[in-house]
Amino acid sequence: MDHFESTKRHSIYNSIPIAIIESNEKMTIQFANNYAHSLFGYNDDELVGKNVKILMTDDIAMVHDIYVERYITTSVPHVIGKKGRRINGKHKDGSILKLLLCLNESSEDGKRLFTASFENFTLIIEEKNKRIEDFYRLEKQKLQIIKNISSPANDIADFLKKIKNINLTNDLKSELDTCILLTENIKLTIGDLESKSFDKFN
């Protein structure tokens, strides 16, 4: 793969909000995108040329070389190609990062190239919780609108039933019956909507 293709790939990597680390067979970091710098707290000079273990918690770093050697020897993948593996990473300041790891292998200039992508699992959970909160907030607003409509619909239906007792022509009574039927259907529809909205909170 020529230099142009590598530069083009890295340019794309730098534009996405996922941390991407490329390393060689010796697990030496060859490239880290902008989001990786932000996620792990290192600048480029602090990452490129270092072993990937700099991004790992001590318990994982201790056995990482064994896992790598096993894969290089057997070519049997245990992590490579599997999506969304939850792991702990380590920030430059020593704090623990909850991450989702995807690891893939390719070849560049006849040599192994490992590409690891990391997503901040904590942010994923926060975003999911926010979507849930937004959903319930909108449902509450819909339920309140339904309640606001329900009250006048009931009043109209009661009023139409009362004036039905007044001496009216047959034509007017027929039209009044049609209006009453419509309001009753509206009440049933509102009741159904209210029931469905209420069920979402239970």
Amino acid at 168: L
The answer on pLDDT for 132 being more than 90 is: no
Are 47 and 6 contacting, i.e. CB atoms less than 8 angstroms apart?
A: no
169 to 157, 158, 179: CA distances (angstroms)? 20, 20, 15
**Percent of the chain topping pLDDT 90:** 36
Provide the pLDDT for residue 164. Answer: 66
Tell me the pLDDT tens digit for each residue of 103-117.
Answer: 988 888 888 899 999
What is the pLDDT at residue 194?
Answer: 64
The reported pTM is: 0.61
Q: What is the average pLDDT across 164-189?
A: 72
pLDDT at position 185 over 80: no
Secondary structure class of 102 (helix, strand, coil): strand
What is the four-CA torsion angle of 129, 132, 136, 141, rounded to 10 degrees? 90
Name all domains of the chain by residue range, CATH numbers in brackets. Answer: 3-121 (3.30.450.20), 126-199 (1.20.58)
